Amino acid sequence: MAAVSIAASAALSIANVWAGLAGGSTSVTAAGAEFAGDVLASTIVLLGMLAAAKPPDENHPYGHGRLETLAGLAVGVLLAAGGAAICYQSLQRVGERHPPPQAFALWTLAVAAGVKSALSYGKFRVGRRIRSAALIADAWNDAVDLLAATAAAAAVGLTVYDASRFLSADHYGGFAVGLVVVYSGLRVARDASLQLMDTMPDAALMEQIRAVAMAVPNVRGVEKCFARKTGLQYHVDLHLEVDPDITVRESHEIATQVRAAIKQTMDSIADVLVHVEPAGML
């Protein structure tokens, strides 16, 4: 999916930059520059996912999944910086007198809107299924591109419709594109940062973990349950309550059954660390 996005974004970038320069449109050129940034962003996502797939080793017992989250953070920072640059460049020509943009520049924006819509939909579906922060970040990037292309098309359309009244609309359209990109970048960076800070997953997932654990025979209760995301999956710390009068071997067997049940039932869980405690003891 990321590889397809790289090729598509490269083609859209070349087409829109050419159309923007040839047609004299700041908005279309800004959109093309944003698509060029997508090539780099999707490349970062692809490399991050490949690195995150490496198995655990001696120095990384929890695996390399955080590289995928770091890739998502990098995409967010890149988007925000690129959006700020687009805003700055778009405002430089406001107030200048120059020929209005050519209407043919709208066609490349229309193609870009269709392609980015399809890419965003596909990445959201795959990213949510495999719980990839980087791929979801890239999907947001494409969704923003769709909004950016729409804003640019509206701005160019106004300028072409009545250049005497709306000549600056094309430049303000480029500025609007930049603002949308900045917002998306900050949102993506925030989501990735929350994962790097070991923010707990949603309550529904935690309740499911507890329910699976409680369904194992001889489990008296779950005192504590924590989870942190490491790439595409979660690592769980579970404090399990059992009969205080059973043997260490028996409590260990119960803990092993709980660990196996959670991993087999929930494919989003990479591993479970179970701490056994006597039930009813303070």
Strand order in the sheet with 269-278: 221-230, 233-242, 269-278
Query: What pLDDT was estimated at residue 213?
Result: 94
pTM metric for this prediction: 0.67
128 and 19 share a domain?
yes
Domain boundary among 196, 214, 249: 196
**The domain boundary residue, chosen from 196, 225, 260:** 196
If you write DSSP's letter for every residue of 7-56 in order, what string do you get? HHHHHHHHHHHHHHHHHT-HHHHHHHHHHHHHHHHHHHHHHHHHHHTSPP
| CATH label of the domain that carries residue 242 | 3.30.70.1350
Mean pLDDT value across the chain:
82
Please report, as a single letter, which amino acid is at residue 161: Y
**pLDDT value at residue 187:** 82
What CA–CA distance (Å, rounded) separates 187 from 181? 10
162 plus 209 within the same structural domain: no
| Number of Cα atoms under 13 Å in the Cβ half of residue 29 | 18
Q: Which of 77-86, 141-150, 202-211 has the highest mean pLDDT?
A: 202-211
**Statement to judge: residues 213 and 117 lie in one domain:** no
pLDDT tens digit string along 169-199? 777 777 877 887 788 788 878 888 888 888 8
CA distance 165 to 185: 33
User: Of the spans 52-56, 95-99, 237-241, which averages the highest pLDDT?
Assistant: 237-241
Domain residue limits at 109: 2-196
Q: Alpha-carbon distance 278 to 282, whole Å?
A: 9
Q: Over 60: is that where the pLDDT of 282 sits?
A: no
Q: What end-to-end distance do the CA atoms of the chain give, in Å?
A: 52
Domain finish residue from 196, 219, 242:
196
Together in a domain, 116 and 256: no
* Pure H helices in the chain: 2-23, 26-52, 66-91, 105-130, 133-161, 163-166, 169-196, 203-214, 248-265
* Structural domains counted in the chain: 2
Mutual angle of helices 169-196 and 133-161, in 10-degree steps? 170
Read off the pLDDT of residues 94-114 as tens digits, 9 standing for 90 and up.
Answer: 666 656 667 777 788 888 888
